[in-house]
């Protein structure tokens, strides 16, 4: 998976204020890199989590990545259908 850009200042301030959540986020990122999912699957999982959490901003953010990751009919191919 390619390196991510510098996180927004809001995120940096948040993890400074809540260091336990910052450590949990980093642990999740490490698991993502070590796990069996490819980049496309990771983006789809992030989109699903954002939708499940009803976070409009996160859905918009995740949707941009999914649009890049998927081509027409790509989800059906990826899902094996």
Model pLDDT for residues 4-42, shown as the tens digit of each residue:
678 788 888 888 998 898 888 788 888 878 888 887 777
Instruction: Report yes or no on whether pTM surpasses 0.85.
Output: no
Residue 43 sits in the same domain as residue 15: no
Mean pLDDT within 52-79: 65
Q: Does 42 lie in the same domain as 81?
A: yes
Q: Give residue 77's domain range.
A: 37-81
Do 43 and 60 belong together in one domain?
yes
What is the number of other CB atoms lying within 10 angstroms of the CB of residue 53?
10
Same domain, 43 and 67: yes
Same domain, 30 and 43: no
Same domain, 48 and 65: yes
Residues 42 and 32 sit within 8 Å (Cβ to Cβ): yes
What is the number of structural domains in the chain? 2
**Mean pLDDT, residues 50-72:** 70
| Residues 56 and 29 placed together within one structural domain of the fold | no
Name 65's Cβ contacts closer than 8 Å, sequence gap at least 6.
Answer: 43, 46, 47
């Amino acid at each position: 998976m390619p390196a991510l850009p510098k996180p927004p200042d809001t995120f940096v301030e948040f993890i400074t204020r809540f260091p336990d959540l910052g450590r949990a986020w980093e642990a999740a990122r490490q698991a993502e890199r070590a796990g069996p999912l490819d980049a496309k699957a990771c983006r789809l999982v992030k989109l699903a989590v954002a939708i499940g959490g009803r976070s409009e901003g996160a859905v918009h953010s995740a949707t941009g990545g999914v649009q890049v990751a998927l081509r027409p009919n790509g989800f059906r191919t990826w899902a094996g259908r």
